[in-house]
Amino acid sequence: MESALTARDRVGMQDFVLLENHTSEVAFIENLRKRFKENLIYTYIGSVLVSMNPYKDLEIYTKQHMDRYRGVNFYEVSPHIYAVADNAYRSMRTERRDQCILISGESGAGKTEASKKVLQYYAITCPASEHVQTVKDRLLQSNPVLEAFGNAKTLRNDNSSRFGKYMDIQFDFKGAPVGGHIINYLLEKSRVVHQSHGERNFHIFYQLIEGGEDDLLRRLGLEKNAQQYQYLVKGNCPKVSSINDRNDWKIVRKALSVIGFTDDEELLNIIASVLHLGNVQYGGEDSGSAYITTETQIKYLARLLGVDGTVLKEALTHKKIIAKGEELMSPLNQEQAASARDALSKAIYGRTFTWLVNKINGSLAFKNASVIGLLDIYGFEVFQNNSFEQFCINYCNEKLQQLFIELTLKSEQEEYEAEGITWEPVQYFNNKIICDLVEEKFKGIISILDEECLRPGDASDITFLEKLENTVGGHAHFLTHKLADGKTRKIMGREEFRLIHYAGEVNYNVNGFLDKNNDLLFRNLKSIYLSICLAKLMEILMSKEPSYVRCIKPNDAKQAGRFDEVLIRHQVKYLGLMENLRVRRAGFAYRRRYETFLQRYKSLCPDTWPNWDGRLVDGVSTLVKHLGYKPEEYKLGRTKIFIRFPKTLFATEDALEVRKHSLGMSYSQKTKYRKMRQSAIKIQAWWRGILACREAKRRREAANTIRRSVFIKGFIYRHQPRCPENEYFLDYVRYSFLMKLHRSLPKTVLDKSWPTPPPALVVVRYICHESVIKTIIDSSRCEMRDYAFLLFTGFRAAPDSLTTSVLSVGISVSSLSDGMFVLHVACEDNKQKGDVVLQSEHVIEALTKVAICAEKMNSININQGSIKFNVAQGKEGIIDFTSGSELLIAKAKNGHLSVVSTAD
């Protein structure tokens, strides 16, 4: 926090507690506005985090940001959800006490995203192993599954959670996440059968229709068109541009696999059965009894649910009545049958959701672990028309607000007591009076509702309202049209009652209260949740050390950068933020441990600068006296200093800013700099010496290694015949020479300026005569090294002399690739057989060798069309050369030898 105080005029306060005018709602909202415009979406109220939904991606959730907040004191860095997550984690590890993070706010404020960020933080920063990684994956993948089955598009949010979720993240003794457990609350099952205009059913239905494979949909009896299903078109909004149902379906299927759903056939059967139930239609007989007109849907339902079709039809058109111990089946009319169908659909989906949560819990189960709980639940809801659902949700938030204030006051009081500071009682609005109005036995609203549902006779929503007027009509927080004054009656309906919650006034329409309370769906919701689960939730939260995240949405249009002050003021009120700030500021605005305070401000007092060697409390006392703190401005506790007014802290901060400039060129700083420079030079010299010693040692070891190696032995034995001692050296010498020769070949094949081969290459030296030609080194040409000697049978003993004698005229060769050449021999008598006509695949190598041996390098004639040669006894022969596609040698009609060959 301190790091941002110097920039408070630009980005407001990082902590609302430091607002000078902390009782002003205008100042509070203006501080939110300043920070929101700078994309600073997080602000503290003490240890409470206020989060604004930016409706855009911000680069503040990277691995680098996680590392920045990991293991750092809560106030040392700027406000962030990671700071809350890390603080809870470190408290769990060091204090060995379970923690919980309560995330609240209305739909679209970013509660679900906040809980995701907490899970991601633990998944990435906590210790891991193969098993732990599996658990992390399952924890993260539980989110898309629960969102698919529990979230829906509403008017306020395209991905609104329509259930409350409490998740325990379980950690082992090493601090690694090893399991989890989820408790779900208040699933809005009425959405299964009805949606307001512009809203959708739960995501999973649309994902299945849009993304399901053709074979799967065929098996489920579904069509790839959401318009065909009554439960999906009530809100007239089957498609939403911001939602990709097809892609989300793939994500959900993958998540189910990670969690452990090896076969999701049963789950999908149930989801499909709900859609088929919605398409069950009724007709009416003359007697008024209902009958089913859509037999196809019954066939699908019987197969998907695994029940008898006849029994199912009867259940959808009759109700069971027990009279005098006998069971009777009474037919339903069309309206009653439709209600029974819808009730069954809601019950099926509700139980499926509970089963799904239990399945996820089974894959995450772990015992004997420390936990951090995450509560993501509906925020306070006020709509134009508020029914039984909003009544339950707002009652829950009323209880959470009561807990919030109690725990906040409790933590403040405990801190003061631990520090030995006198606690001054704080006056605050205690909403216990509202909770009692709703839940008190025999005379609370819930008890009256139960009693009216069980009362014999013609009970209705209106009789329930009348009963409320008679029983709680005099309550200060209850009002109806009948009890209101003339001005209020104009804006209140006759079927409404008003509750004055801590967050403000809400009008509830009683239409449907009795039906929903009688319905198994809402009976479970009311009796189990409101009586047992809510009490259990309160018990869970009270047993843990709480942290709070309050989420605010800046506008209803989900637009980035738009700040709707009226909407935000409403949320600030019903989230109880001003109340929380007032409680926090009732004592002291700022508190820090002595070591932290002294370290930051010690330069402001000569007696504490540069170091304080005594007790910390004495050092702080000396410092604040030097700064001129008045007794009413601060208190010294056992380990902390408490400063009552922000202006006192700001004056200290301003003095520190001035002091920083003077410290920059002070004598003490120069002296410290010189000492640090001298120390650095000594360390550098010492380190250079260490490095030099290491290098010398490395070189000695390398030299010894070389001396001991076979390479040295090979050099010593290099003139000896090949043996184990020199074979590696000789091979290396040959390789080096050949590679050098390869890199510097002579210009022409007749060039004699070749490098001298080493003794190890005696074979190559013999082949090359005086020099080695690169073309003969190639393996394919080495076989021609004696080719010139093999041209003349019987002359191998002395090839050089013989060649010189027989080759006195010259050599003729064609320009084609026929491989033929003529050796012209001087004719000394008529018995001589004439010139020699030869053919070779290696004609170039052969001619080169012969020419070198005979010293006739300039006697090679290349002919274009024909070659004349002596046959015998003065006769002359002619060879004609013609270009063609393939080699062909034959005697022509004119007596010439005809050679057809390709051009080279």
Give the annotated binding-site residues for ATP. Answer: 105-112
- From 106, 58, 23, 68, select the one nearest 561 (Cα to Cα): 58
What is d(CA 860, CA 813) in angstroms, rounded to the nearest whole number? 8
| CA distances, 30 to each of 108, 128, 419, 584, 660 (Å) | 21, 43, 34, 19, 31
Angle at 336 between CA 332 and CA 341, to 5 degrees: 100
Asked if 399 contacts 97 with a C-beta cutoff of 8 angstroms, the reply is no
Q: Which amino acid is at 194?
A: H
Give the C-alpha separation, 378 to 389, whole Å.
Answer: 11
Least Cα distance to 142 among 451, 376, 456, 321 occurs for 376
Within a 10 A sphere around the Cβ of 43, how many other Cβ atoms? Answer: 26
Active-site pick, 31, 51, 107, 115: 107
276 vs 451: CA distance, rounded Å: 36
Residue 112 known to be catalytic: yes
* Inter-axis angle of helices 565-574 and 577-585, nearest 10: 60
At 903 the three-state DSSP class reads strand
- Among the options 47, 78, 104, 112, which is catalytic? 112
Our answer to whether residue 381 is catalytic in this structure is yes
Query: What residues form DSSP beta bridges with 421?
Result: none
Catalytic residue among 199, 210, 381, 412: 381
Catalytic residue among 160, 184, 352, 608: 160
- Give the C-alpha distances (Å, rounded to integers) separating 532 from 441, 514, 521, 538: 14, 21, 16, 10
- Whether 668 is catalytic is no
Catalytic-residue membership of 379: yes
SS3 130: helix
Side-chain half-sphere exposure of 846, counting CA atoms within 13 A = 20
Structure-block tokens of residue 744: 């510097």
CB 107 within 8 A of CB 115: no
Distance of alpha carbon 819 from alpha carbon 808, whole angstroms: 22
Angle at 547 between CA 378 and CA 373, to 5 degrees: 70
CB 165 within 8 A of CB 376: yes
- Residue positions in the annotated binding site? 105-112
What is the maximum span of the chain, computed from C-alpha positions, in angstroms?
A: 155
For 319-371, the DSSP string reads EEEEETTEEEEEE--HHHHHHHHHHHHHHHHHHHHHHHHHHHHHHH---S-EE
Q: Retrieve residue 320's tokens.
A: 């069971």
Token pair for 249: 């379906």
Q: How far apart are CA 159 and CA 179, in angstroms?
A: 26
Phi, psi of 576 (to 5 degrees): 70, 30
Q: Are strands 545-552 and 48-52 parallel, antiparallel or unpaired?
A: parallel
Residue 161: active-site member: yes
For this structure, is 108 an active site residue?
A: yes
- Decide if 808 is catalytic: no
Active-site residue identified among 31, 51, 125, 161: 161
- Pinpoint the alpha helices (H) of 717-798: 727-743, 762-768, 774-777, 779-782, 787-790
- DSSP single-letter state for residue 838: E
Q: Pick from 534, 555, 511: which is nearest to 394 by CA?
A: 534
Catalytic residue among 179, 211, 373, 379: 379
Catalytic residue among 108, 150, 180, 576: 108
List the catalytic residue out of 47, 157, 507, 648. 157
CA distance 669 to 672: 5
User: Token pair for residue 655?
Assistant: 């003095």
What residues are labeled active site?
107-108, 112, 157, 160-161, 379, 381
